[in-house]
Chains A and B, each alone.
Chain A
Amino acid sequence: MRRFRHTEEKLFRVLMFLSTNIIVISLGIIIFSILYKGLPSLTWEMVSQTPKGGFYFGKEGGILNAIIGSLYLAVASTVLALLIGLPVALMMNVHLIKYTKLVNGIRFLLDLLWGVPSIVYGAFGFTVMIYFGLKTSLLAGIITVTLFIIPIMVRAMDEVLKTIPRGLMETAMSLGSTSSEISYRVYLKQVIPGLVTAVLLSFGRAIGDAASVLFTTGYTDHIPTALGQPTATLPLAIFFQLSSPIPEVQNRAYASALVLTIIILATSILSRYFSKKYQKNRIKQ
């Protein structure tokens, strides 16, 4: 018996060691290959200029149009999704606390929406766009991406809000707070770091998704100056350049991927810094 328990322990150690390594190594390979292929092509020209005449044949120009386009799109849809999603998440956890079945129903619905592939959102956005007579534009992209990240953001916030102990709610209630006061004066302050993570997760999905913007934002070599104009995005920039047979252009695809990775990394570090600043008042468990 004793022997068996030891073998079992060893077996699981080996299995866990293996799976950890698979994850870490594959992540390493991804980052390495992006760096290896992309870094030589990542020049100042690449990030500071829009595509010039021969750009798609490996000549001069850069992907500034896609960088700016992606930032516009991701920031706008994250802000919109936050404005819509935060009240929903708070309502589910404070106002509707008595209606367990209803809240679980909403959770199920959101989980379903989370599971819907982004290309379906893209197709839906496309249909809506045609119905309203819109052309491919930044606005259509923002609307589609917002719809696509709302379930992600709400569920991520919901999971954070669920961890707040019932005692804090009882305390706030016994002081005579209304549900909205509990939401915005107490709960928000308690979970700001978790909410930042939720927003960040949604931002990452918004800036990194290609399928939902494929039909809705289109692609252009210009930096958009109005919501009605088509807009280039980084994921599509990667996609188009990677499909080219010319090696220089392919390498630029990796450089674009590197830019995208750096943007996500930078937002992640910044938001972690700010969420630390705001968590000093948090009540620890």
Chain B
Amino acid sequence: MEENAKIRVNDLNLSIGKQKILKNINLEIPERKITIILGPSGCGKTTFLKTLNRLTDLYPEMHVTGSITIDNDDILHTHKDITLLRQKMGLLSQRPYPLPMNIYNNVAYGLRISGRKKRRFLDKRVEHYLKQANLWDEVKDRLKDPASALSIGQQQRLCLARGLAVDPDIILADEPTSALDPISSEAIEKKFVELKQQYTIVMVTHVLRQARRIADYVVFMYLGEVIEQGTAEEIFQNPQQEITKQYLKGAFN
């Protein structure tokens, strides 16, 4: 497919004991597009997303082989600092996990750990990223309040601001709207469409309608395998595989 693939995945396999979770995944994820990984629950979408920023390191029982190349660097076998690699990717998880600190410090956290500690600089950046996540107007008068006091939709936008603040190239999102109300979900979706001007977005979802609304490129996964991949138009208008057709018809839900 396109020349400007940001992430290339080759022969990726992941197993826990004898159970194979991901089987021979080969993928190319285009730069500055929204790539949606679609599939029913339990097909390995989330696990795949976690291999992309090596969160699989946390789970010693997971055995990963193959290669994932981001900017010409095989991140599964790299000698580079893994923390810097992770800062290239912002992560939004299924339910928001704000850090146990106040709103301001949540956004400033990533900047502080990368050594940028000047108060005036932080103030500006925090405001900038909170505005980017459409949260500034709601929280500007209570930046010192604990993040846990926000509603869950606000927390998810806070997590987005926090993820953007480490200045990533890639946004990984794992069903980021599944815990949110429709209005907050729509806000996140709109934001993603805006953000794709600057970022490569990889989003996991099992919500078909959501995929139709925002996807540029779609990867359909089923039982740990990539069944089909292509542009949104190709997959939604003219799917090649029988399983994809059935899923799109709603036979799985």
Residue numbers in A under 8 Å from B13 (CB-CB): none
0/1 interface trace, chain A 143-183, chain B, CB 8 Å (1 if under): 00000000000000000000001111111111111100100
B86 touches A176 (CB 8 A): yes
A90 to chain B, nearest CB (A): 15
Bound-complex Cα distance A171 to B93 (A): 8
A174 touches B91 (CB 8 A): yes
B66 touches A (CB below 8 Å): no
Residue numbers in A under 8 Å from B95 (CB-CB): 167
A186 touches B (CB below 8 Å): yes
B201 touches A (CB below 8 Å): no
Bound-complex Cα distance A189 to B114 (A): 20
From B58, which residue of chain A is reached at the shortest CB distance?
A97
A98 touches B58 (CB 8 A): yes
Bound-complex Cα distance A42 to B162 (A): 58
A175 touches B93 (CB 8 A): no
Residue numbers in B under 8 Å from A166 (CB-CB): 58
A277 to chain B, nearest CB (A): 12
A171 touches B159 (CB 8 A): yes
- Which of B109, B146, B166 has a CB less than 8 Å from the CB of A281? B146
Bound-complex Cα distance A170 to B59 (A): 11
A23 touches B (CB below 8 Å): no
Bound-complex Cα distance A194 to B145 (A): 22
B55 touches A174 (CB 8 A): yes
0/1 interface trace, chain B 62-77, chain A, CB 8 Å (1 if under): 0000000000000000
A226 to chain B, nearest CB (A): 42
B97 touches A189 (CB 8 A): no
Bound-complex Cα distance A97 to B53 (A): 17
Residue numbers in B under 8 Å from A170 (CB-CB): 50, 55, 58, 91, 93, 97
A190 touches B (CB below 8 Å): yes
A52 touches B (CB below 8 Å): no
Residue numbers in B under 8 Å from A99 (CB-CB): 60
B113 touches A189 (CB 8 A): no
A173 touches B86 (CB 8 A): yes
- Which of B55, B89, B97 has a CB less than 8 Å from the CB of A168? B97
A100 touches B (CB below 8 Å): yes
Bound-complex Cα distance A72 to B117 (A): 40
- Known contacts A280-B146, A282-B148: does B100 contact A189 (CB below 8 Å)? yes
B45 to chain A, nearest CB (A): 15
Bound-complex Cα distance A98 to B57 (A): 7
A2 touches B (CB below 8 Å): no
Residue numbers in B under 8 Å from A280 (CB-CB): 146
A186 touches B100 (CB 8 A): yes
From B112, which residue of chain A is reached at the shortest CB distance?
A185
- Known contacts A98-B57, A98-B60: does B87 contact A281 (CB below 8 Å)? no
B60 touches A100 (CB 8 A): yes
Instruction: Show the binding face of B for A, using Cβ within 8 Å.
Output: 50, 53, 55, 57-60, 83-84, 86-87, 89-91, 93, 95, 97-102, 109-110, 113-114, 146-148, 159, 162-163, 166, 172
Instruction: Show the binding face of A for B, using Cβ within 8 Å.
Output: 97-100, 165-178, 181, 185-186, 189-190, 280-284
19 further A-B pairs in the complex, CB-CB below 8 A; given A165-B97, A176-B84:
A98-B59, A166-B58, A167-B97, A170-B55, A170-B91, A171-B91, A171-B159, A172-B99, A173-B55, A173-B58, A174-B90, A175-B109, A176-B166, A177-B83, A178-B83, A185-B113, A189-B101, A283-B99, A283-B100
Contacts A/B (CB < 8 Å), 22 sampled: A98-B59, A167-B95, A169-B58, A170-B50, A170-B91, A173-B58, A174-B55, A174-B86, A174-B91, A176-B83, A176-B114, A176-B166, A177-B83, A177-B113, A181-B113, A185-B113, A189-B101, A280-B146, A281-B147, A282-B100, A283-B98, A283-B148
